[in-house]
Amino acid sequence: MYGGVWHQSFGLELCLEHVRGWFVVGSMAGLRTRWAAIGAACAVVLGAGGLGVVSATTSSGDRAIYVPVTQVRVLDTRLGEKVVNETVRLVIEGIITTADGTSQQVVPTDASAVAINITATSTRKNGDYGYVNVFPCTANSDSAPNTSSLNFENGIDIANALNVTTSANGSICLYVFGTADLLVDVAGYYVDHNHDDRYYLKADVDAALSGFESALAGKVDSVDIEGLIFSIGSELADKADSVEVDAALSVIENALAGKVGRCADLLICVVGDTGPGGGIVFYVDLNRPAGSRYFEAACVGWQNDCDGTTADPLAEWGCIGTLISGAGGHAIGTGEQNTADIVTGCPTPGVAAHLANDLVLGGQTDWFLPSKDELNEMFTMLDSSFTPLGGFLTDDFYLSSSEDDDASAFAQRFDDGVQDNRSKGTTYYVRPVRAF
C-alpha cells in the first residue's frame, strides 16, 4: 500500500497506487465496476517505452474466488444429542458461536459459498441406508434435495470435503437419514470478485488522452484532480490495446508539480495515507458523495496532539438505561449522525461521543465516534496492515456510536475482530474518526 509519500514522477507512483487502492479497497466498499478497467488503463498509460497488454480473450464482471481460512470447527454434536432422521440448520456467515463456545466471524456476510469438511461418527443406518445431505437453506424445515453428500455404514466414521452454496440468511442445512454425530469444519469460503481483463486500442486511448490533456490545461495551481481521474477512467472503459503516452504524462506531471500533500491537499487518497486531520485513511469509496468518500482514524496520541505514544483513553458510552433516539445506525456513513444524536440526548461530559465530538485535531473539528460498520472497517484495514501506524490496543474493546438498546452499545476488539454489544456503563477504548 502507498504510505503517503509523494513522488514528483506522477505517472508511475500516482497511477499505480491509486488504482491499487481503488480497486482493492473499493471492492471491499462495494465498488464493483470500472476500477479494474482503470487499472488496465494505467497499465497501458505507464507503457511508455513499448509496454503492451496482450490477451487472447477479454471479459469483465464478477467471478467467485476462493479464500482459505485456518480451519475452524463450527459444529460438534457429540456433546449433545445425536442427529436422528432430522435437519440441523447451521448459520455459517457473520459473527457465529463456534463449537468451542467462542464468538467470531469465520465467513463474511457477503460470501456466496463455503468450503467445509464434514465427518459423521457413531453412525447407524435407517434400514438399508444412511447418509448426510448438505444444502443451502433458510430454515430447518426446508426440504432436502434428493441427493447425498456423504454415505455411511453402521459404526464406521467417514468424512468428506464439500463446497456448499450459502442461503440468503447465511445458512446451510445438514439432513441426516439414519443416526449420526456430526462434525463440521470450515476450511474457506467463496466471494464474488470483480475482474476486468479487457485491453485498449491505440486510436481510442489517444483520443481519450487528448481530451484529458485539454481538461488539465491551465490547471497548474489547484484543481479537482479526483474528478479528472474519474473522467479518464470513464473515457477509457471498454476500449482496447496499448499505446505510448509520454506527452500526456508530461502534461499531468506539469499540472501536479509542487503538490507535495497529495492526500491532505488534493484529497486523492488511498488506505494508509495520512489524512488532512493527521490521522490514517482507512476507507475509500469514490462512489459516495463528496465530503464522505474517505474516512480517517485519529492518530496515535490524539488527545496529546499526535505524540505517537499516548494510549487511547477509556470512557463510558454513557446514559445507561436511556434509549438515544437516532443513535442506532450501523452502516458506513452513519457514525457522524449517531454521535450528534448522542451528544444531544446524553449531555453527560466525558462520555465517548463527547470526547470524539469535542476533538480539534490537525485543524479539523468534525471528528466523531465511528459506527459499528465504520469501526469494523478500521479493524479490517488498519489492524493487520497498519498496526505500527494505527497503534490500536488489543486487550479490550473499542466503542462504536451504534446503540443496541437502552443498556448496551456495540464495540469491537482489535485482536480478533469480535463485535459485541457491551454495557453502556463500562469503560472501553475510544478512537475518533472523520469523513472528508
CATH of the domain at 76: 2.60.120
| Inter-CA distances, 192 with 28, 39, 67, 211, 389, Å | 11, 18, 11, 34, 30
CA distance 294 to 300: 19
Tell me what the mean pLDDT of segment 204-230 comes to.
56
Q: Are 409 and 274 within 8 A, CB to CB?
A: no
Q: Which of 109, 115, 157 is nearest to 134 (CA)?
A: 115
Task: Choose among 384, 392, 419: nearest CA to 404.
Answer: 419
- The set of cell numbers assigned to 32 is 464493483
Report yes or no on 275 lying in a domain: no
Which range, of 73-87, 124-138, 381-395, 410-424, averages the lowest pLDDT? 381-395
What is the average pLDDT across 112-117? 96
Q: Is the pLDDT of residue 253 over 90?
A: no
Q: Do 167 and 217 belong together in one domain?
A: no
Alpha-carbon distance of 427 to 398, in angstroms, equals: 9
C-alpha cell, 213? 490533456
Examine residue 3 and state whether it is found in any structural domain, yes or no. Answer: no
Q: Is 426 exposed, middle or buried (0-12, 13-18, 19+ CB in 10 A)?
A: middle
Q: For residue 186, what is its C-alpha cell?
A: 470450515
Q: Are residues 202 and 288 in the same domain?
A: no
Is there a domain that residue 109 lies in?
Answer: yes
- CA dist 1 and 347 (Å) reads 41
Of 149, 171, 193, the position where a domain reaches its end is 193
Question: Average pLDDT of the chain?
Answer: 79
CB atoms within 10 A of CB 129: 11
Q: Looking at the predicted structure, is the pLDDT value of residue 289 above 80?
A: yes
Q: How many domains does the chain have?
A: 3
Q: Is 385 within a domain? A: yes
Based on the fold, state whether residues 292 and 319 are members of the same structural domain. Answer: yes
Q: Does the CA dihedral 291-297-302-307 come out positive or negative? A: negative
Q: Is the pLDDT of residue 26 over 50?
A: no
- Residue found by looking up cell 459499528 in the block: 372
Q: Is residue 2 part of a domain?
A: no
Residues paired with residue 319 on neighbouring β-strands, in sequence order: none
Neighbours of 181 (CB within 10 A): 20
Rounded to whole angstroms, how far apart are CA atoms 415 and 4? Answer: 25
Q: Could you tell me which residue, 36 or 388, shows the higher pLDDT? A: 388
Which one, of 334, 250, 301, lies nearest residue 8 by Cα?
250
* pLDDT of 46 higher than 70: no
Does residue 2 carry a pLDDT above 50?
Answer: no
Are 368 and 433 within 8 A, CB to CB?
yes
d(CA 240, CA 237): 9
Q: Based on the domain organization, do 332 and 416 belong to the same domain?
A: yes
335 by Cβ neighbours in 10 Å (0-12 / 13-18 / 19+) ranks as buried
Mean pLDDT of 349-363: 96
Residue among 72, 27, 394 nearest 193 (CA): 27
> For 304-315, how does the pLDDT look when each residue is reduced to its tens digit (9 = 90+)?
998 888 999 999
Please indicate, yes or no, whether residues 91 and 127 belong to a single structural domain of this protein.
yes
Q: Is 268 within the bounds of a domain?
A: no
Please answer whether residues 269 and 381 qualify as being in contact, where contact means their C-beta atoms are separated by less than 8 angstroms.
no
Domain containing 409 equals: 280-435
179 touches 126 (CB < 8 A): yes
| From 69-83, 293-307, 377-391, the region with the lowest mean pLDDT | 377-391
Greatest distance between any 2 Cα atoms in the chain: 84
C-alpha cell at 239: 476500449
- Tens of pLDDT, residue by residue over 124-141, are 999 999 999 999 999 999
Per-residue confidence at 197, pLDDT binned at 50, 70, 90?
low
In a domain, residue 273? The reply is no
Residue 161 predicted with pLDDT over 60? yes
Burial of 34 (0-12, 13-18, 19+ CB in 10 A): buried
In the chain, what is the straight-line distance between the N-terminal and C-terminal CA atoms, in Å?
20
Q: Do 343 and 364 sit in the same domain of this protein?
A: yes
Distance from C-alpha of 285 to C-alpha of 270, rounded to nearest angstrom: 10
Residues in Cβ contact with 320 at an 8 Å cutoff, skipping those fewer than 6 apart: 406, 407, 423, 424, 425
Task: Supply the pLDDT for residue 212.
Answer: 62
427 & 370 share domain: yes
* Percentages (nearest 5) of helix, strand, coil residues in the chain: 25, 30, 45
End position of a domain, from candidates 166, 193, 220: 193
